[in-house]
Amino acid sequence: MAIPLRKPAEIEKLRTAGQAVAKTLQYLQNNVQPGMSLLQIDTMGEKFLRELGARPSFKGLYGFPNAVCTSLNEVIIHGVPTNTIIQEGDILGLDIGSEIDGWYGDAAITMPIGKISKEDEDLIACSKDALFYAIDIIKQGMRFKELSLALENFITDRGYVPLINFCGHGIGRAAHCDPEVPNYLDAPSAKQGPKIKNGMVFCIEPMVCQKDEEPVVDSEDKWSVRSSDGLRTSHYEHQIAVVDGKATILTQL
Chain segment 192-229, per-residue pLDDT in tens: 999 999 999 999 999 999 999 999 999 999 999 999 99
Which CATH number fits the domain 8-249, given the four candidates 3.40.30.10, 3.30.420.40, 3.90.230.10, 3.40.50.720?
3.90.230.10
- Confidence check: pLDDT of 2 > 90: no
Residue 122 contacts by C-beta under 8 Å, 6 or more apart in sequence?
158
Which tens digits make up the pLDDT trace of 124-180? 999 999 999 999 999 999 999 999 999 999 999 999 999 999 999 999 999 999 999
- SS3 for 143? strand
What's the 3-state SS for 205-246? CCEEECCCCCEEECCCCCCCEEECCCCCCEECEEEEEEECCE
Instruction: For residue 36, count other CB atoms closer than 10 A to its CB.
Output: 18
Residue 100 contacts by C-beta under 8 Å, 6 or more apart in sequence?
13, 16, 17, 20, 53, 54, 55
Nearest to 165 by CA among 100, 203, 215, 99: 215
Instruction: For residue 90, count other CB atoms closer than 10 A to its CB.
Output: 18
- SS3 for 252? coil
pLDDT band at 1 (very low <50, low <70, confident <90, very high): low
Nearest to 41 by CA among 72, 73, 75: 72
Nearest to 134 by CA among 17, 236, 18, 243: 236
pLDDT band at 64 (very low <50, low <70, confident <90, very high): very high
- Residue 61 carries which side chain, given as an amino acid letter? L
- Residue 158 carries which side chain, given as an amino acid letter? R
Strand partners, 69: 95
Task: Please give the model's pTM, rounded to 2 decimal places.
Answer: 0.97
- Name the H helices within 138-207: 144-157
- Average pLDDT for the chain: 98
CA–CA dist 130, 169 (Å, integer)? 16
Question: What values do phi and psi take at 156, rounded to 5?
Answer: -70, -30
CA-angle at 128, arms to 124 and 129, nearest 5°: 110
Which tens digits make up the pLDDT trace of 73-109? 999 999 999 999 999 999 999 999 999 999 999 999 9
